[in-house]
Structure 1
Amino acid sequence: GVQLLKEAADAGYAVAQLRLAIFFENARYVDRDLDAATRYYTAAAEQGNLNAMYNLGVLLASGRAGPADTAAAAQWFRRAAELGSADAQFNFAVLMSEDRYGVANLAEGYRWYAIAAARGDADAAAQRDQLAAGIPPEERARLDAEVAAWKPRAPDPAVNREPLPSRSATNATVLTAQEALKTLGHYAGPADGILDSGTLAGLRAFAAAEGLPRPDGLTADLLARLTDRTRP
Protein backbone atom coordinates (compact mmCIF):
# COMPACT_ATOMS: atom_id res chain seq x y z
CA GLY A 1 0.00 0.00 0.00
CA VAL A 2 0.90 3.67 0.19
CA GLN A 3 2.53 3.23 3.60
CA LEU A 4 4.96 0.65 2.24
CA LEU A 5 5.66 2.90 -0.73
CA LYS A 6 6.39 5.82 1.61
CA GLU A 7 8.73 3.68 3.68
CA ALA A 8 10.63 2.72 0.54
CA ALA A 9 10.71 6.34 -0.65
CA ASP A 10 11.95 7.59 2.71
CA ALA A 11 14.62 4.89 2.63
CA GLY A 12 15.96 6.47 -0.57
CA TYR A 13 14.50 4.20 -3.24
CA ALA A 14 14.21 6.42 -6.34
CA VAL A 15 11.40 4.55 -8.12
CA ALA A 16 9.31 4.65 -4.94
CA GLN A 17 10.05 8.37 -4.57
CA LEU A 18 8.83 8.96 -8.12
CA ARG A 19 5.62 6.98 -7.65
CA LEU A 20 4.85 8.66 -4.32
CA ALA A 21 5.44 12.09 -5.85
CA ILE A 22 2.98 11.23 -8.64
CA PHE A 23 0.43 10.18 -6.03
CA PHE A 24 0.84 13.45 -4.10
CA GLU A 25 0.71 15.58 -7.25
CA ASN A 26 -2.44 13.94 -8.59
CA ALA A 27 -4.25 13.18 -5.31
CA ARG A 28 -4.09 9.48 -6.07
CA TYR A 29 -4.69 7.36 -2.93
CA VAL A 30 -3.56 10.38 -0.83
CA ASP A 31 -4.58 14.01 -0.41
CA ARG A 32 -2.96 16.37 -2.91
CA ASP A 33 0.26 17.80 -1.45
CA LEU A 34 2.37 19.63 -4.01
CA ASP A 35 5.10 20.41 -1.48
CA ALA A 36 5.48 16.70 -0.81
CA ALA A 37 5.34 15.99 -4.55
CA THR A 38 8.13 18.49 -5.15
CA ARG A 39 10.19 17.02 -2.33
CA TYR A 40 9.93 13.43 -3.56
CA TYR A 41 10.38 14.36 -7.22
CA THR A 42 13.53 16.25 -6.24
CA ALA A 43 14.87 13.32 -4.22
CA ALA A 44 14.36 10.93 -7.14
CA ALA A 45 15.62 13.40 -9.75
CA GLU A 46 18.81 14.06 -7.80
CA GLN A 47 19.49 10.32 -7.91
CA GLY A 48 19.10 10.34 -11.69
CA ASN A 49 15.50 9.22 -12.21
CA LEU A 50 14.52 10.43 -15.67
CA ASN A 51 10.75 10.69 -15.18
CA ALA A 52 11.23 12.53 -11.89
CA MET A 53 13.45 15.08 -13.62
CA TYR A 54 10.81 15.72 -16.26
CA ASN A 55 7.86 15.83 -13.86
CA LEU A 56 9.75 18.13 -11.51
CA GLY A 57 10.52 20.47 -14.39
CA VAL A 58 6.85 20.62 -15.34
CA LEU A 59 5.80 21.28 -11.75
CA LEU A 60 8.38 24.03 -11.25
CA ALA A 61 7.53 25.72 -14.54
CA SER A 62 3.79 25.60 -13.89
CA GLY A 63 3.86 27.58 -10.66
CA ARG A 64 1.39 25.15 -9.09
CA ALA A 65 3.66 24.46 -6.11
CA GLY A 66 4.69 28.07 -5.53
CA PRO A 67 6.12 30.85 -7.70
CA ALA A 68 7.06 29.54 -11.15
CA ASP A 69 10.79 28.87 -11.37
CA THR A 70 11.62 28.49 -15.05
CA ALA A 71 15.36 28.62 -14.40
CA ALA A 72 15.20 25.56 -12.14
CA ALA A 73 12.72 23.89 -14.50
CA ALA A 74 15.12 24.42 -17.40
CA GLN A 75 17.93 22.73 -15.48
CA TRP A 76 15.83 19.62 -14.89
CA PHE A 77 14.51 19.59 -18.45
CA ARG A 78 18.10 19.83 -19.68
CA ARG A 79 19.22 16.89 -17.57
CA ALA A 80 16.26 14.77 -18.71
CA ALA A 81 16.83 15.87 -22.32
CA GLU A 82 20.42 14.69 -22.19
CA LEU A 83 19.13 11.28 -21.05
CA GLY A 84 16.89 11.05 -24.11
CA SER A 85 13.48 12.34 -23.02
CA ALA A 86 11.87 13.81 -26.15
CA ASP A 87 9.30 15.70 -24.06
CA ALA A 88 12.06 17.24 -21.97
CA GLN A 89 13.98 18.12 -25.12
CA PHE A 90 10.94 19.96 -26.46
CA ASN A 91 10.24 21.78 -23.19
CA PHE A 92 13.87 22.80 -22.76
CA ALA A 93 13.87 24.14 -26.31
CA VAL A 94 10.74 26.18 -25.51
CA LEU A 95 12.39 27.76 -22.49
CA MET A 96 15.58 28.47 -24.41
CA SER A 97 13.95 29.96 -27.49
CA GLU A 98 11.44 32.15 -25.69
CA ASP A 99 12.49 35.34 -23.95
CA ARG A 100 12.31 33.84 -20.47
CA TYR A 101 15.69 35.08 -19.24
CA GLY A 102 15.90 38.49 -20.90
CA VAL A 103 17.83 37.20 -23.92
CA ALA A 104 16.46 34.35 -26.01
CA ASN A 105 19.00 31.64 -26.88
CA LEU A 106 17.77 30.77 -30.35
CA ALA A 107 20.71 28.50 -31.13
CA GLU A 108 20.13 26.35 -28.06
CA GLY A 109 16.41 26.26 -28.76
CA TYR A 110 17.09 25.24 -32.35
CA ARG A 111 19.50 22.52 -31.21
CA TRP A 112 17.02 20.84 -28.88
CA TYR A 113 14.04 21.20 -31.18
CA ALA A 114 16.18 19.54 -33.86
CA ILE A 115 17.19 16.72 -31.52
CA ALA A 116 13.54 16.06 -30.63
CA ALA A 117 12.56 16.33 -34.31
CA ALA A 118 15.15 13.69 -35.20
CA ARG A 119 13.20 11.30 -32.97
CA GLY A 120 10.01 11.95 -34.92
CA ASP A 121 8.44 14.86 -33.02
CA ALA A 122 6.56 16.78 -35.73
CA ASP A 123 5.82 19.75 -33.46
CA ALA A 124 9.52 20.05 -32.66
CA ALA A 125 10.34 19.95 -36.36
CA ALA A 126 7.92 22.82 -37.03
CA GLN A 127 9.42 24.90 -34.22
CA ARG A 128 12.94 24.12 -35.43
CA ASP A 129 12.06 25.36 -38.90
CA GLN A 130 10.57 28.57 -37.50
CA LEU A 131 13.75 29.33 -35.55
CA ALA A 132 16.00 28.50 -38.51
CA ALA A 133 15.30 31.84 -40.20
CA GLY A 134 16.82 33.72 -37.27
CA ILE A 135 20.09 31.78 -37.21
CA PRO A 136 22.96 32.50 -39.65
CA PRO A 137 23.46 29.67 -42.19
CA GLU A 138 26.99 28.90 -40.97
CA GLU A 139 25.87 28.52 -37.38
CA ARG A 140 22.86 26.48 -38.45
CA ALA A 141 25.11 24.11 -40.39
CA ARG A 142 27.30 23.68 -37.31
CA LEU A 143 24.27 22.99 -35.14
CA ASP A 144 22.89 20.48 -37.64
CA ALA A 145 26.20 18.61 -37.58
CA GLU A 146 26.15 18.53 -33.78
CA VAL A 147 22.57 17.27 -33.79
CA ALA A 148 23.43 14.51 -36.27
CA ALA A 149 26.25 13.33 -34.01
CA TRP A 150 24.32 13.68 -30.75
CA LYS A 151 23.53 10.62 -28.67
CA PRO A 152 21.69 10.52 -25.35
CA ARG A 153 23.40 9.35 -22.21
CA ALA A 154 21.96 6.13 -20.86
CA PRO A 155 19.83 6.52 -17.72
CA ASP A 156 21.04 4.54 -14.72
CA PRO A 157 18.76 1.47 -14.64
CA ALA A 158 19.27 1.13 -10.88
CA VAL A 159 17.23 4.28 -10.24
CA ASN A 160 14.90 4.18 -13.25
CA ARG A 161 13.17 0.85 -13.15
CA GLU A 162 12.14 -1.81 -10.72
CA PRO A 163 12.76 -5.25 -12.20
CA LEU A 164 10.27 -7.90 -11.23
CA PRO A 165 11.09 -11.61 -10.99
CA SER A 166 12.74 -13.42 -13.88
CA ARG A 167 11.06 -13.83 -17.25
CA SER A 168 10.19 -17.44 -16.42
CA ALA A 169 8.58 -16.62 -13.08
CA THR A 170 4.90 -17.22 -12.51
CA ASN A 171 3.46 -14.58 -10.20
CA ALA A 172 0.36 -12.57 -9.51
CA THR A 173 1.99 -9.32 -10.61
CA VAL A 174 2.58 -10.56 -14.15
CA LEU A 175 -0.93 -12.03 -14.18
CA THR A 176 -2.36 -8.62 -13.26
CA ALA A 177 -0.40 -7.01 -16.10
CA GLN A 178 -1.56 -9.63 -18.60
CA GLU A 179 -5.20 -9.12 -17.66
CA ALA A 180 -4.81 -5.35 -18.04
CA LEU A 181 -3.09 -5.77 -21.41
CA LYS A 182 -5.94 -8.01 -22.57
CA THR A 183 -8.50 -5.40 -21.52
CA LEU A 184 -6.62 -2.74 -23.47
CA GLY A 185 -6.21 -4.94 -26.55
CA HIS A 186 -2.42 -5.25 -26.42
CA TYR A 187 -2.21 -8.96 -25.55
CA ALA A 188 -4.13 -11.99 -26.79
CA GLY A 189 -2.24 -14.76 -25.02
CA PRO A 190 -3.11 -16.65 -21.85
CA ALA A 191 -3.27 -14.86 -18.48
CA ASP A 192 -0.91 -17.36 -16.86
CA GLY A 193 1.48 -15.15 -14.91
CA ILE A 194 4.42 -16.04 -17.15
CA LEU A 195 6.45 -13.12 -18.49
CA ASP A 196 7.10 -14.62 -21.92
CA SER A 197 7.83 -13.01 -25.29
CA GLY A 198 4.13 -12.46 -26.02
CA THR A 199 3.61 -10.64 -22.74
CA LEU A 200 6.73 -8.57 -23.36
CA ALA A 201 5.43 -7.65 -26.83
CA GLY A 202 2.16 -6.55 -25.24
CA LEU A 203 4.00 -4.43 -22.68
CA ARG A 204 5.99 -2.79 -25.46
CA ALA A 205 2.84 -2.11 -27.48
CA PHE A 206 1.23 -0.50 -24.44
CA ALA A 207 4.35 1.56 -23.73
CA ALA A 208 4.43 2.77 -27.34
CA ALA A 209 0.76 3.76 -27.16
CA GLU A 210 1.46 5.71 -23.97
CA GLY A 211 4.54 7.43 -25.38
CA LEU A 212 6.81 5.64 -22.90
CA PRO A 213 10.33 4.27 -23.49
CA ARG A 214 10.55 0.72 -24.85
CA PRO A 215 10.62 -1.54 -21.76
CA ASP A 216 12.84 -4.58 -21.26
CA GLY A 217 10.36 -6.15 -18.88
CA LEU A 218 7.57 -5.38 -16.43
CA THR A 219 8.45 -2.51 -14.11
CA ALA A 220 6.56 -1.05 -11.19
CA ASP A 221 5.96 2.17 -13.13
CA LEU A 222 4.54 0.28 -16.11
CA LEU A 223 2.31 -1.83 -13.88
CA ALA A 224 1.02 1.31 -12.15
CA ARG A 225 0.20 2.87 -15.54
CA LEU A 226 -1.60 -0.30 -16.65
CA THR A 227 -3.61 -0.32 -13.43
CA ASP A 228 -4.59 3.31 -13.92
CA ARG A 229 -5.71 2.73 -17.51
CA THR A 230 -7.95 -0.19 -16.58
CA ARG A 231 -9.42 1.16 -13.35
CA PRO A 232 -13.26 1.43 -13.62
Structure 2
Amino acid sequence: MGDMYFYGQGVSQSEEEAVKWYKKAAEQGDADAQFNFGWMYHYGHGVSQSNAEALKWYQKAVAQGDANAKNRMGDMYYDGRAVSQSYEEAVKWYRKAAEQGNAHGQKNLGSMYERGKGVPQSYEEAAAWYKKAAEQGNEDAQRFLGQMYKDGRGVPRSDEEAAKWFKEAAE
Protein backbone atom coordinates (compact mmCIF):
# COMPACT_ATOMS: atom_id res chain seq x y z
CA MET A 1 0.00 0.00 0.00
CA GLY A 2 2.92 2.32 0.74
CA ASP A 3 4.19 1.92 -2.81
CA MET A 4 0.73 2.61 -4.21
CA TYR A 5 0.58 5.93 -2.36
CA PHE A 6 4.20 6.83 -3.07
CA TYR A 7 3.77 6.37 -6.82
CA GLY A 8 0.10 7.39 -7.01
CA GLN A 9 -1.03 4.06 -8.45
CA GLY A 10 -4.78 3.59 -8.07
CA VAL A 11 -4.85 6.26 -5.34
CA SER A 12 -3.93 9.92 -5.13
CA GLN A 13 -0.16 10.25 -4.74
CA SER A 14 0.76 11.12 -1.15
CA GLU A 15 4.16 10.74 0.47
CA GLU A 16 2.57 11.18 3.89
CA GLU A 17 0.17 8.26 3.28
CA ALA A 18 3.06 6.20 1.89
CA VAL A 19 4.99 6.82 5.11
CA LYS A 20 1.98 5.73 7.19
CA TRP A 21 1.74 2.40 5.33
CA TYR A 22 5.50 1.78 5.19
CA LYS A 23 5.65 2.36 8.95
CA LYS A 24 2.85 -0.14 9.64
CA ALA A 25 4.54 -2.84 7.60
CA ALA A 26 8.03 -1.94 8.90
CA GLU A 27 6.91 -2.25 12.49
CA GLN A 28 5.54 -5.71 11.64
CA GLY A 29 9.01 -6.74 10.46
CA ASP A 30 8.68 -6.47 6.68
CA ALA A 31 12.24 -5.89 5.36
CA ASP A 32 11.13 -4.11 2.16
CA ALA A 33 8.99 -1.72 4.21
CA GLN A 34 11.84 -1.16 6.65
CA PHE A 35 14.09 -0.23 3.75
CA ASN A 36 11.44 2.05 2.22
CA PHE A 37 10.66 3.68 5.57
CA GLY A 38 14.39 4.31 6.08
CA TRP A 39 14.65 5.71 2.55
CA MET A 40 11.82 8.15 3.27
CA TYR A 41 13.76 9.44 6.29
CA HIS A 42 17.04 9.42 4.36
CA TYR A 43 15.64 11.82 1.76
CA GLY A 44 12.92 13.57 3.78
CA HIS A 45 9.95 12.35 1.74
CA GLY A 46 6.71 12.59 3.73
CA VAL A 47 8.69 13.00 6.97
CA SER A 48 11.32 15.37 8.28
CA GLN A 49 14.71 14.23 7.01
CA SER A 50 16.57 12.27 9.68
CA ASN A 51 19.80 10.39 9.12
CA ALA A 52 19.45 8.70 12.52
CA GLU A 53 15.99 7.34 11.67
CA ALA A 54 17.15 6.27 8.22
CA LEU A 55 20.07 4.39 9.77
CA LYS A 56 17.80 2.72 12.33
CA TRP A 57 15.43 1.34 9.70
CA TYR A 58 18.19 0.38 7.27
CA GLN A 59 19.82 -1.60 10.07
CA LYS A 60 16.57 -3.48 10.71
CA ALA A 61 16.31 -4.36 7.00
CA VAL A 62 20.01 -5.34 6.90
CA ALA A 63 19.43 -7.72 9.81
CA GLN A 64 17.03 -9.56 7.50
CA GLY A 65 19.55 -9.64 4.64
CA ASP A 66 18.06 -6.84 2.50
CA ALA A 67 20.58 -5.99 -0.25
CA ASN A 68 19.11 -2.54 -0.94
CA ALA A 69 19.57 -1.62 2.71
CA LYS A 70 23.17 -2.88 2.63
CA ASN A 71 23.84 -0.60 -0.32
CA ARG A 72 22.29 2.36 1.55
CA MET A 73 24.42 1.53 4.60
CA GLY A 74 27.37 1.99 2.26
CA ASP A 75 25.99 5.41 1.32
CA MET A 76 25.63 6.33 4.98
CA TYR A 77 29.30 5.52 5.62
CA TYR A 78 30.43 7.14 2.37
CA ASP A 79 28.77 10.43 3.35
CA GLY A 80 29.18 10.13 7.13
CA ARG A 81 25.43 10.32 7.80
CA ALA A 82 24.60 9.32 11.40
CA VAL A 83 27.87 7.34 11.42
CA SER A 84 31.54 8.28 11.27
CA GLN A 85 32.54 8.78 7.63
CA SER A 86 34.60 5.83 6.43
CA TYR A 87 35.32 4.76 2.87
CA GLU A 88 36.48 1.39 4.19
CA GLU A 89 33.12 0.78 5.87
CA ALA A 90 31.32 2.02 2.76
CA VAL A 91 33.25 -0.54 0.68
CA LYS A 92 32.34 -3.29 3.16
CA TRP A 93 28.62 -2.55 2.79
CA TYR A 94 28.75 -2.00 -0.98
CA ARG A 95 30.52 -5.36 -1.30
CA LYS A 96 27.84 -7.12 0.78
CA ALA A 97 25.13 -5.68 -1.47
CA ALA A 98 27.14 -6.36 -4.64
CA GLU A 99 27.79 -9.98 -3.74
CA GLN A 100 24.03 -10.43 -3.33
CA GLY A 101 23.64 -9.28 -6.92
CA ASN A 102 22.46 -5.73 -6.12
CA ALA A 103 23.23 -3.62 -9.20
CA HIS A 104 23.53 -0.37 -7.23
CA GLY A 105 25.97 -2.00 -4.84
CA GLN A 106 27.97 -3.37 -7.77
CA LYS A 107 28.10 0.06 -9.43
CA ASN A 108 29.09 1.73 -6.16
CA LEU A 109 31.78 -0.85 -5.45
CA GLY A 110 33.12 -0.33 -8.97
CA SER A 111 33.25 3.40 -8.32
CA MET A 112 35.24 2.85 -5.13
CA TYR A 113 37.78 0.75 -7.04
CA GLU A 114 37.96 3.26 -9.87
CA ARG A 115 38.68 6.11 -7.46
CA GLY A 116 40.75 4.14 -4.97
CA LYS A 117 38.51 5.09 -2.05
CA GLY A 118 38.60 2.57 0.79
CA VAL A 119 40.41 0.06 -1.46
CA PRO A 120 43.56 0.18 -3.57
CA GLN A 121 42.71 1.69 -6.95
CA SER A 122 42.10 -0.99 -9.57
CA TYR A 123 40.60 -0.22 -12.94
CA GLU A 124 40.28 -3.95 -13.61
CA GLU A 125 38.16 -4.47 -10.48
CA ALA A 126 36.17 -1.33 -11.28
CA ALA A 127 35.39 -2.55 -14.78
CA ALA A 128 34.42 -6.01 -13.53
CA TRP A 129 31.92 -4.60 -11.02
CA TYR A 130 30.60 -2.03 -13.48
CA LYS A 131 30.02 -4.83 -15.99
CA LYS A 132 27.98 -6.87 -13.49
CA ALA A 133 25.77 -3.84 -12.80
CA ALA A 134 25.64 -2.80 -16.47
CA GLU A 135 24.41 -6.24 -17.50
CA GLN A 136 21.51 -5.77 -15.06
CA GLY A 137 20.57 -2.51 -16.76
CA ASN A 138 22.13 0.00 -14.35
CA GLU A 139 22.51 3.01 -16.63
CA ASP A 140 25.25 4.70 -14.57
CA ALA A 141 27.33 1.52 -14.68
CA GLN A 142 26.70 1.23 -18.42
CA ARG A 143 27.97 4.77 -18.92
CA PHE A 144 30.98 4.25 -16.63
CA LEU A 145 31.85 0.97 -18.36
CA GLY A 146 31.57 2.66 -21.75
CA GLN A 147 34.02 5.32 -20.60
CA MET A 148 36.45 2.66 -19.42
CA TYR A 149 36.34 0.97 -22.83
CA LYS A 150 36.73 4.35 -24.54
CA ASP A 151 39.82 5.14 -22.45
CA GLY A 152 41.17 1.58 -22.19
CA ARG A 153 41.20 1.64 -18.38
CA GLY A 154 40.90 -1.83 -16.85
CA VAL A 155 39.72 -3.27 -20.17
CA PRO A 156 41.17 -3.31 -23.67
CA ARG A 157 40.46 -0.02 -25.45
CA SER A 158 37.52 -0.55 -27.79
CA ASP A 159 35.39 2.09 -29.48
CA GLU A 160 32.89 -0.64 -30.40
CA GLU A 161 32.43 -1.77 -26.78
CA ALA A 162 32.33 1.85 -25.62
CA ALA A 163 29.60 2.66 -28.15
CA LYS A 164 27.65 -0.47 -27.15
CA TRP A 165 27.57 0.53 -23.48
CA PHE A 166 26.92 4.22 -24.16
CA LYS A 167 23.99 3.21 -26.36
CA GLU A 168 22.63 0.90 -23.65
CA ALA A 169 22.82 3.76 -21.14
CA ALA A 170 21.14 6.18 -23.52
CA GLU A 171 18.28 3.77 -24.23
Shorter-normalised TM-score: what interval? 0.5 to 0.7
Name the SS for the 2:108 alignment partner.
helix
Unaligned runs of 5+ in 2: 1-16, 157-171
TM, length-normalised to structure 2: 0.63
Deviates more, 1:44-53 or 1:89-98: 44-53
Matched, 1:55 2:72: yes
1:65 paired residue among 82, 97, 100:
82
Unaligned runs of 5+ in 1: 138-232
User: For the structure 1 residues 123 and 14, does the alpha-carbon distance in structure 2 shift closer, same or farther, using more than 3 Å as the test?
Assistant: same
Residues 149-228 of structure 1: matches in 2 within 5 Å? Answer: none
Count matched residues: 136
State the Cα distance separating 1:102 from its structure 2 match: 6.4
Q: Which residue of 2 aligns with 1:125?
A: 145
User: For the structure 1 residues 76 and 84, does the alpha-carbon distance in structure 2 shift closer, same or farther, using more than 3 Å as the test?
Assistant: same
Deviates more, 1:33-42 or 1:118-127: 118-127
Name the SS for the 1:37 alignment partner.
helix
State how far apart, in whole Å, the 2-side matches of 1:5 and 1:87 are.
Answer: 22
Residue by residue over 1:112-151, the C-alpha shift from the partner in whole angstroms, topping out at 9 and shown as x without a partner, is 122233345431322442674457x8xxxxxxxxxxxxxx
Q: Which has the higher helix share?
A: 2
Name the SS for the 1:100 alignment partner.
coil
State the Cα distance separating 1:8 from its structure 2 match: 4.0
User: For the structure 1 residues 125 and 107, does the alpha-carbon distance in structure 2 shift closer, same or farther, using more than 3 Å as the test?
Assistant: closer
Provide the aligned C-alpha RMSD in A: 2.9
State how far apart, in whole Å, the 1-side matches of 2:68 and 2:119 are.
Answer: 29
Q: Which residue of 2 aligns with 1:190?
A: none
The percent identity for this pair of structures is: 29
TM, length-normalised to structure 1: 0.49
Matched, 1:110 2:96: no
State how far apart, in whole Å, the 1-side matches of 2:111 and 2:21 are.
Answer: 38
2:113 paired residue among 96, 111, 115:
96
Larger radius of gyration: 1
User: For the structure 1 residues 133 and 29, does the alpha-carbon distance in structure 2 shift closer, same or farther, using more than 3 Å as the test?
Assistant: closer
Residues 28-47 of structure 1: matches in 2 within 5 Å? Answer: 28-47=45-64
State the Cα distance separating 1:89 from its structure 2 match: 1.5
